[in-house]
């Protein structure tokens, strides 16, 4: 089983050109068959022994290109999981054009929150995946009833707030790293407010003890001196109202905001306000990959072994887990 990928593009309903296109890279488990088409066009068939594959949609942070998540997509493919990275450029705040996970800020106002999705890209991506699943290279290879939303930074917030199957059929869980559900005062919320989380689906909320981006963005929420992890933990402890036993928290020792992104392109985004990691970066990514893979397989495949491994990582003794919890 090897990781391979194909490219697709889709449109964003209601968006004005040129910001109405989303470019997708779909990773999948594959096996070389040494066919003429493979040699001539690089089209490698899926490894159907594990099909249909659960699907992870990776929602990026602001101004983080999809290449920052290729390491994770390759790890997932080798574990029998398909995934999608994407590029969407938009002007979601007046005067700021950026790479974005796709966010409708009006849906986050106090009058509108919870009434309709704030995610603008998830729906079109799901539609394109359904097309791929009907014909062509990946026909029948994608389990469109087992979709996990996986986000980093702003993409993580979008994933958590939009994990509602009534909005996006087939979504069965969500995870986030370096994200929380704090409600910004610029949106009209009182200081220290939190968006409540949908509680229908399993969730994995992850953060790092060296997250300087979260710590140094606390003024957005009316706080002078911010913590790298407090809002991440409050997202799990307060914003989430669930005690089913399928929601998890992972605070990772020594990880910073961009531990989820590799290689990091420091020409965009805000890495200059992050803290340095205090544990080996490869070990941190290995931990993150293990958490994402085990959560995905536990939720999307109901694998007892993956659930046991997830519980062992988070609830046992592990030097890289500052705080692990389940509720």
Q: For the segment 175-212, what is each residue's pLDDT rounded down to a tens digit?
A: 999 999 999 999 999 999 999 998 899 999 999 999 99
Q: What is the pLDDT of residue 34?
A: 78
pLDDT at 94: 82
The rounded percent of the chain whose pLDDT value lies above 90 is 90
Q: What pLDDT digit, counting tens, does each position of 30-67 carry?
A: 998 878 778 878 889 999 899 999 999 999 999 999 99
Give 275's DSSP letter: P
Q: What is the mean pLDDT of the chain?
A: 95
Mean pLDDT for 158-165 is 98
Q: Please compute the mean of the pLDDT values over residues 292-311 and round it to a whole number.
A: 98
DSSP letter, residue 196: P
Q: How far, in Å, CA of 180 to CA of 173, rounded?
A: 16
pLDDT in tens, 141-156: 999 999 999 999 999 9
Residue 93 CB contacts under 8 Å (≥ 6 apart), including other chains: 105
What lies within 8 Å, CB to CB, of 51 at 6+ separation is 140, 141
Q: How would residue 101 be classed by pLDDT, with cut points 50, 70 and 90?
A: very high
Instruction: For residue 59, count other CB atoms closer than 10 A to its CB.
Output: 34
Q: pTM for this structure?
A: 0.97
Tell me which residue of 62, 148, 160 sits closest to 108, measured CA to CA: 160
- Distances in Å between the Cα of 5 and the Cα atoms of 8, 292, 325 are 10, 19, 35
Residues in the chain: 327
The reported pLDDT for the residue numbered 303 is: 96
Min mean pLDDT across 33-42, 88-97, 107-116, 293-302 is at: 33-42
Alpha-carbon distance of 115 to 5, in angstroms, equals: 35
- Between CA 104 and CA 113 the distance in angstroms is 11
Q: What is the model's pLDDT at position 39?
A: 83
Which pLDDT score, from 0 to 100, does residue 87 have? 98
Query: Which one is predicted more confidently, 78 or 1?
Result: 78
Q: Is the peptide bond before 259 cis (omega within 30 degrees of 0)?
A: no
Each residue's pLDDT tens digit, 166-177: 999 999 999 999
pLDDT in tens, 119-141: 999 999 999 999 999 999 999 99
pLDDT at 225 over 80: no
SS3 125: helix
Under the banding of pLDDT at 50, 70 and 90, the label for residue 93 is confident
pLDDT band at 223 (very low <50, low <70, confident <90, very high): confident
User: Which pLDDT value is given to residue 323?
Assistant: 98
Maximum pairwise Cα distance, the chain: 62
Question: Does the 2-326 domain belong in CATH 3.40.190.10?
Answer: no
Contact 147, 171 (CB under 8 A): yes
């Amino acid at each position: 089983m090897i990781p391979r990928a194909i490219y697709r593009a889709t449109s964003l309903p209601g968006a004005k050109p040129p910001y109405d296109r989303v470019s997708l890279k779909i990773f999948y488990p594959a096996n070389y068959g040494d066919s003429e088409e493979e040699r001539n066009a690089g089209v490698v068939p899926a490894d159907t022994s594990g099909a249909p594959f659960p699907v992870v949609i990776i929602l990026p942070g602001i101004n983080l290109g999809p290449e920052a998540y290729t390491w994770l997509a390759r790890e997932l493919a080798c574990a029998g999981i398909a995934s999608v990275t994407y590029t969407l450029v938009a002007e979601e705040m007046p005067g700021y054009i950026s790479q974005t996970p796709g966010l409708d800020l009006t849906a986050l106002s106090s009058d509108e929150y919870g009434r309709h999705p704030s995610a603008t890209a998830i729906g079109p991506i799901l539609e394109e995946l359904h097309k791929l699943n009907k014909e062509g290279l990946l026909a029948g290879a994608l389990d469109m009833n087992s979709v996990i939303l996986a986000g980093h930074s702003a993409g993580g917030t979008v994933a958590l707030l939009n994990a509602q199957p009534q909005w996006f059929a087939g979504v069965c869980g969500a995870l986030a790293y370096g994200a929380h559900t704090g409600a910004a005062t610029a949106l009209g919320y009182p200081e220290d407010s939190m968006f409540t989380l949908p509680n229908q689906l399993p969730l994995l909320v992850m953060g790092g003890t060296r997250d300087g981006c979260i710590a140094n963005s606390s003024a957005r929420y009316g706080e002078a001196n911010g913590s790298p992890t407090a809002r991440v933990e409050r997202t799990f402890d307060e914003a989430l109202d669930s005690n089913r036993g399928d929601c998890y928290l992972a605070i990772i020792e020594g990880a910073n905001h961009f531990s989820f992104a590799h290689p990091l392109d420091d020409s965009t985004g805000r890495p200059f306000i992050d803290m340095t990691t205090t544990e080996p970066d490869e070990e941190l990514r290995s931990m993150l990959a293990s958490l994402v893979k085990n959560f995905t397989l536990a939720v999307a495949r109901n694998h007892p072994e993956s659930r046991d491994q997830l519980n062992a990582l988070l609830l046992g003794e592990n030097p890289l887990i500052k705080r692990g919890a389940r509720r």
